Structure formats: C-alpha cells, structure tokens
C-alpha cells in the first residue's frame, strides 16, 4: 500500500532522527573521552588562573602596605627601619614596587649625603634591562644629578642628550642638566636655546619652566651686554 504524503514525510523524519542519533553515538564513542579531558583541563586552567590572580592581588595589597609603612618610617626619621622594609620590597616581582623600593633606597643615601652610594644605586637601576624604560631613564637622570659636580660636561651632554629633547617625558629635568653642562663648556647659545625650549613646553613642571625663564633672561641679558661692550670697544678703536 502506498504511503500518503504525510506518512511519507513522517517516515523520513524518523529515519533522519535515527541517523542523527547513530552519528551522535558514533561521535561520542570516538571523541567523548577527549572532550571530557578537554573540558576538565580547561576548567583546571581557568581555576589555576583565578587562583594565581587572587594570589597576585593579595601580594600587591601586602606590598602596598609594606611600602606605606616604609614611607611612614622615612617621614618619622626611622631610616634603619625603613631600609629593612625597602630591602624586602627591592626583591618584588612587581616592577612598580621594586622600582619604588630601589629609588627610595637611593634617596635614603642622598639624605645621608652619600652621593657616591646614591649614584651607584641609581646606576644599577638605569642598567637593569628587566626594568621598564621609564624607570631606567629616570634613574639615569637621578644618577647624573647625584654626580653632576664630578662629571665632565661632555659626559653629561652625551649621557642625557637623547632625553633632553622636546616631547620626551623627562625633557625638563634632563634639559636643565644638559643646559648647565653647556654653560660649563662655554656654549651659552646652546644653553639659552635649551632654556627657552623648556620655558615654552607646557608639559614641563611649572617650577622648571620658571627656572628656565630666569636662566634664559640672564643669558639673554648677558649676551646683549657682551654685544654692547664689543660694539663700544670697536667704536673706540675706530
């Protein structure tokens, strides 16, 4: 007996459903264990990541509290207590806390008027390639500040020329040191140009800009007076 269109469609659906079930069972027999392993492994990795993230967060909180204690001791004049805490933080795996501790250790040396010790510590930070570049650049500037009086002007210029450029985050501090080195070299024109650039850069801290304005004005006045004196001398000779 021939099937009606409706019965034929229902029969085909049953066959299709049976075929899909067989395919699903066959897929499960072949890959079911692998899927379970993959799911369990993924959950384990995700759980491990959450555990690691939680540990990192707690470690950061603990190190933040330690750093605050060290700063409180510094403010209270307890240099030895602060130094002990900072020595621990200097081994931190966090670049931020490690850098803060190392800079603070060097600052303690400066407070003790140990310029050589401070310069050595800043130099260690500047040469630490595992430290982020902004930290290394700042350490190089602080090192140069600490030993500026003992350095030849050309050493200061060659060391900081790359940082003493408009657009660099440390342009103000590095530029001021390079300008002073230019003055030691007798290159007043280069020093005045650098001071004027610092004074015109809005991103430079206001205190540095004011000093640059004052130094630029002094150099400009000196250049005018020197030019006037030279002119008078020439007139006398004529």
Per-residue pLDDT in tens (0 to 9) along the chain, 238 residues? 444 455 555 555 655 566 666 666 666 666 666 656 555 555 555 555 444 454 545 555 677 787 787 778 777 877 788 888 888 888 888 888 888 889 888 988 888 889 999 999 999 999 999 888 999 999 999 999 999 999 999 999 999 999 999 999 999 999 999 999 999 999 999 999 999 999 999 999 999 999 999 998 988 875 555 554 444 454 444 5
Q: What is the pLDDT of residue 139?
A: 94
Contact between 137 and 130 (Cβ < 8 Å): no
Residue 92 is classified by DSSP as -
Residue 2 is classified by DSSP as P
Alpha helices, H only, the chain:
5-75, 79-89, 95-111, 115-126, 133-146, 153-160, 171-185, 188-200, 206-237
Contact between 145 and 177 (Cβ < 8 Å): yes
Q: What is the pLDDT of residue 235?
A: 41
- Round to whole Å and give the CA distance between 56 and 216: 49
* Of 169, 176, 173, 178, the residue nearest 203 (C-alpha): 169
Q: What is the pLDDT of residue 222?
A: 58
Two structure tokens written together for 191: 């020093």
Burial bucket for residue 24 (CB in 10 Å: 0-12, 13-18, 19+): exposed
């Amino acid at each position: 007996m021939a099937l009606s269109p409706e019965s034929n469609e229902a029969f085909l659906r049953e066959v299709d459903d049976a075929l899909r079930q067989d395919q699903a069972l066959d897929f499960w027999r072949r890959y079911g264990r692998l899927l379970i392993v993959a799911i369990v492994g993924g959950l384990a990795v995700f759980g491990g990541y959450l555990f690691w993230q939680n540990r990192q967060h707690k470690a950061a909180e603990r190190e933040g509290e330690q750093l605050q204690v060290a700063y409180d001791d510094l403010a209270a004049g307890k240099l030895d207590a602060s130094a002990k805490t900072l020595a621990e933080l200097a081994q931190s795996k966090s670049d931020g806390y490690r850098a803060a501790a190392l800079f603070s250790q060097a600052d303690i040396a400066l407070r003790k008027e140990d310029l050589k010790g401070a310069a050595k510590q800043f130099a260690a930070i500047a040469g630490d390639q595992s430290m982020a570049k902004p930290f290394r650049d700042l350490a190089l500037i602080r090192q140069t500040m600490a030993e500026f009086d003992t350095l030849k002007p050309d050493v200061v210029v060659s060391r900081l020329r790359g940082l003493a450029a408009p657009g660099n985050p440390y342009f103000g501090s590095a530029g001021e040191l390079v300008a002073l080195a230019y003055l030691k070299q007798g290159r007043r024109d280069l020093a005045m140009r650098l001071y004027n650039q610092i004074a015109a850069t809005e991103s430079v801290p206001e205190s540095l800009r004011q000093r640059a304005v004052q130094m630029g004005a002094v150099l400009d006045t000196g250049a005018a007076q020197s030019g006037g004196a030279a002119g008078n001398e020439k007139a006398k000779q004529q």
